[in-house]
Structures are given as C-alpha cells and as structure tokens.
A = this chain, B = another copy of it.
Amino acid sequence: MSYVLGIDGGGTKTVCILMDENRQVVGRGEAGASNYQTIGISNTINSINLAIQRAIAERKDLTIIGACLGLAGVSRPRDIEVIKDLLMDLQFYQNLPLNWQLKLDSIVICNDAFIALVGGLGHGTGIVAISGTGSIIFGRNHLGETKRVGGWGHILGDEGSAYQIAVSGMQAALKSYDGREISTSLVAGFQEHLGLANIEDLIEVVYRRGWGVKEIAALAAIVDSAAVNGDAIANRIIEDAVQDLVKATSTVIEAIFHDNEGCEIVTSGGVWQGKANMQGKFAGLIGEKFPQVQVISPKYEPAYGAALLALENIRCC
C-alpha cells in the first residue's frame, strides 16, 4: 500500500493527514505554526516534520508517493520554490522512518484557501468563504479556473473578518464614549472583558501590550455577544461584515460561474461559529441573489483537502 501526506500549514498550527490510495485517513498529527514568512524556515521545517511524525505514529516504512502542502500567503512562484525546497529537505535530511518516493512533480504546493475548498466540499469545484482572523474568498469552477477576492491582510483588507469586527467594535465604543455615536453596550462589554477601569484604557491594551492581530481578533466575540443581546451598534457591525462577505463572494461567483450554474459555497473559519448567526444571514443574502447556489458547512478539514489534492495530482501525472 502507498500513501500520501496532506499538510495544512497555518499561522497557529500545522496539521498532517496520512491518507491511503482509497481516500482512507490512516493517521493525523498536529504541531506548531508553519508560516515560514513570519517564523522562519527552520521553525517551519520543525513543525512540518513533527506533524508528519505524529501522523505516522509508530508506523515504519510506509511508502509516500505524494504530498500536498497548503500554506497561507503562497501564490508567487518564488514562494513555491522555497516550499518545495522545504519538502525536499524533509525527505533527504530529517530521517523520518518513511520510504520516500516523492518526485518534484508529485509534490503540490498551494495556498491554504484551496485546500480549505477541497476539504470543505470534498471535491475541487465551488467556493470557500474563509472568515477567521483574516478573510478571503476563493473559487474554482469545473474548468479549473480560479478566482480569489480579498485575503489582503489586516491593514489592506480582511473585510468581514474577526479582526475587522473587533476593530469596528472598539472604534464604535470609543466614538460612543467621546460623543460621536449613540450609546452602546460595547463600552461596558470591552471594559468588563478586559478588566478596564475606563474605556480609554483600550489604548493601553491595543498599543502598549504588544498585542498582535490574533489577540485583537479574539475580541470579535464581544461584538458577537452584544449583537445577540440586541445592541444596535453591534448588530450593524455584524450586518456590515456579512455584507462585505456577500459582496466578495458575489464577485467570485460572477467571475467564474455562469448564469444559473449551480455551485456550493463552504464556509470556513471561526467567524461563522459566532452566536450572531452570520452564516444564516450570509446564506439568506446569497440565496436571494443566486438561488442556484448552496451555502454549506465544511465536510472535512483543510488537511484532508490537501491529501485529496496529493492523490489527484498523482493520478493525473
């Protein structure tokens, strides 16, 4: 029996799926982050190596005939070269107890949105609407044409993401505090959650504690709760986020799916799990504009999608 590796290399963790030729998952391992642009190549190799080791567990001499690695921020040719070097390095120098039979063309490197699409849908045609810390909409039609909208990061875009919901919430709380905006429970919400004597101390929290994008994005939960509890400002922020995601998704549909061509949109990322039912609102608005399109929750995780892509790649080679 031969196997493939499907690897989801993210900014928080790395997941590796070991899959046999019949699409059966025979192992799964997790390790730390593997976004090489941020943490460096050597840490990335270590995370991927560890995730593979945990996926194969105690098994020895498995024959690995293909691999697919999905990574955030990988789209340019020079990124792909760097990553292929990484995988070759694993194969030759890391002494994993595997019978490697990888060739350059049995390795697939792609962006994380594509493996989320394939994992989420169980196949490679449709759209994935990712909204977690950041946001991106990625689609692929039956001709293999792809279209990406968003994914420009927390300063340049990420509309509809947890980061943007959190920042909009804090901005609205401060505008309410200084008199530019109507009263909102977000002021008390942020103060209580962060243990602040005064909402002005948000400055201390956001600028002086060395907080990054993830720590800020986690505050989207405050906006989510306030919205569920009927706060008008929080609800407007949630509606705006949904509208941004609908706009981005509509742009993908119109770019690569023909009129009345049915397709599925799979949602992915923590924002869709909020209590404010963003997925339901999103599905409702998409359904009005595109009655032939269905919004679903993910069938499998992105690493599973990566493994499917590794298998598919071997079959067409």
A residues at B contact (CB < 8 Å): 37, 73, 147-150, 152-153, 155-157, 167, 170-171, 174-175, 178-180, 202-203, 206-208, 216, 247-248, 251, 254-255
Q: CA separation between A239 and B150, bound complex, in Å?
A: 25
Closest to A255 in B: B179
User: Are B167 and A155 in touch, CB under 8 angstroms?
Assistant: yes
Cβ of A157: which chain B residues have Cβ within 8 Å of it?
171, 174-175
Contact across chains for B174 and A207 when beta carbons are under 8 A apart: no
Could you jot down 7 A-B contacts, CB within 8 Å? A37-B208, A152-B202, A155-B216, A156-B167, A156-B174, A156-B202, A157-B174
Taking A148-B178, A178-B148 as contacts, is the C-beta distance between A153 and B207 under 8 angstroms?
Answer: yes
Q: Are A251 and B207 in touch, CB under 8 angstroms?
A: no
Q: Give, as a whole number of angstroms, the nearest-CB distance from A112 to chain B.
A: 15
How far does the alpha carbon of A203 sit from the alpha carbon of B150 in the complex, in Å? 12
B206 touches A178 (CB 8 A): no
- In the complex, the answer to whether A150 meets B167 with C-beta atoms within 8 Å is no
The answer to whether B180 and A247 touch across the interface, beta carbons within 8 angstroms, is: yes
Given A180-B247, A251-B178, check contact A171 B149 (CB 8 Å): no
Question: Which one of B37, B73, B150, B180 lies within 8 Å of A251 (CB-CB)?
Answer: B180
In the bound complex, do residue B156 and residue A251 qualify as a contact, i.e. CB atoms below 8 Å apart?
A: no
Give every chain B residue within 8 A of A208 (Cβ-Cβ): 37
Q: Which of B37, B153, B171, B216 meets A206, CB within 8 Å?
A: B153
Q: Is the CB of A150 within 8 A of B170?
A: no
Instruction: Quote the shortest CB–CB distance from A125 to chain B (angstroms).
Output: 20
When A and B form their complex, which 8 residue pairs have the shortest distance between CB atoms, in order from nearest? A179-B251, A149-B178, A152-B174, A180-B251, A156-B170, A155-B206, A156-B174, A180-B247
| Contact (Cβ within 8 A) B155 A207 | yes
In angstroms, Cα B147 to Cα A178, docked, is 9
A153, A203, A208: residue with the most chain B Cβ atoms closer than 10 Å: A203
Give A244 Cβ to nearest chain B Cβ, in Å.
9
- Complex partner residue of A203 from B153, B203, B251, B255, CB under 8 angstroms: B153
> Are B178 and A150 neighbours in the complex by a CB distance under 8 Å?
yes
* A162 CB, min distance to chain B CBs, angstroms: 14
Q: What's the least CB distance linking A242 to chain B, in Å? A: 15
Q: How far is the CB of A149 from chain B (nearest CB, A)?
A: 5
- Expressed in whole angstroms, the minimum distance between the Cβ of A76 and any Cβ of chain B is 8
Contact A156/B37 with A180-B251, A255-B179 known, Cβ cut-off 8 Å? no
Complex interface: chain B residues within 8 A of A255 (CB): 179
* CB of A184, distance to nearest CB on chain B (Å): 15
A167 to B208, CA, bound (A): 22
**A208 and B155 alpha carbons, distance in the complex (Å):** 12
Least CB distance from A196 to B in Å reads: 13
Q: In the complex, how many angstroms separate the beta carbon of A147 from the nearest chain B beta carbon?
A: 8
Q: Which residues of B contact A202 (CB under 8 A)?
A: 152, 156
Assembled-state Cα–Cα distance A157/B175 (Å):
8
Q: Which residues of B contact A174 (CB under 8 A)?
A: 152, 156-157
Q: A155, A167, A251 — which one has the most chain B CB atoms within 10 A of its CB? A: A155
